[in-house]
Amino acid sequence: MYSNYHTHTALCKHAEGMPVDYCREAIDHGLRVLGFSDHCPWPDGLWDSVRMAYSQLDTYFAAIQSAREAFPQLEVHAGLETEFRKDLGNFIPENLLCPDRAEYLLLALHSYLDSNGEWQDSWRLHTDEGLLGYARHAVEAMQTGWFTAFAHPDLFAHGGCVWDDAAIECSRMILQTAQDCHIPLELNCNGFHRKLIRDEFGLPRRPYPYLPFWALATEYDVQVFVGADAHRPEFLFSTNEDCLAVAHYYGLQVIETLPIHRT
């Protein structure tokens, strides 16, 4: 791998290192493209215990620009990992995809809005209603055209869901929309750093990448990319080979670069 677009910084309160630290690590390992996509802050302070304050957003982009200038041999991009806040109207395209801010956005559904307009936790999905609510929110997000790619689309499996009709329908909704909207899907390396959970047979598995999801992906014309989801500089490369092994096993179409539309 010579690129990574999923990189965090200490500003998010649960990671280590700033852009210059990740750039040094990237160069030491021969990386040529490094994209930063720290957790997007919101003006209403939602989820602010695990992300920078909205007032720090310009500081974040300035730190990326400083790293870009310090390491001209590295192609550095400024992005954000963001939930789909349809409750904020056009806030995302008007305030994030604008000059001097994000060049790209990674969609990430750590939470989703249910049919009652309430935020639900995507990490603990166990019900059919929850799985389909997650999928519907993902479909609506991808159809906006605001997002360059979808980070850990199989996060719904973290809660230990069973691969049943609801999980399959959830997966098909995501995969079909990704195909239709030409949204690359991420094989997320950070799942290999997480604690093992038990599947429906009592056997240990990674919470994600969720192998049944990626096996089903072979039925669709979708592109995948490997994202380190690095929360420490040394995690830029620690499990890339594991994700590549998944991609190669299923014969998935792996891309190295994302379509950055902003410069």
For residue 232, pLDDT over 80 is answered with yes
State the Cα–Cα distance between residues 36 and 196, nearest whole angstrom: 27
Q: Which helix (H) or strand (E) holds 168?
A: helix 165-181
Query: In terms of pTM, does the model score above 0.85?
Result: yes
CATH topology of domain 3-254: TIM Barrel (3.20.20)
Determine which of 79-83, 87-91, 133-137, 238-242 has the lowest per-residue pLDDT on average. Answer: 238-242
pLDDT score of 123: 95
Domain boundaries, the chain: 3-254
Name the nearest CA neighbour of 208 among 222, 192, 231, 228: 192
The per-residue pLDDT of the chain, averaged, comes to 95
**Tokens matching residue 93:** 């395209």
**Residue found by looking up tokens 């996060």 in the block:** 155
pLDDT greater than 50 at residue 263: no
Do residues 79 and 146 lie in contact, with contact meaning Cβ atoms separated by under 8 Å? no
Q: What pLDDT is attached to residue 262?
A: 55
Helix/strand/coil (H/E/C) assignment for every residue in 77-104:
EEEEEECCCHHHCCHHHHHCCCCCCCCE
Using one digit for the tens of pLDDT, what is the confidence trace for 18-64?
A: 999 999 999 999 999 999 999 999 999 999 999 999 999 999 999 99
Q: How far apart are CA 129 and CA 114, in angstroms?
A: 9
State mean pLDDT over 202-227: 96
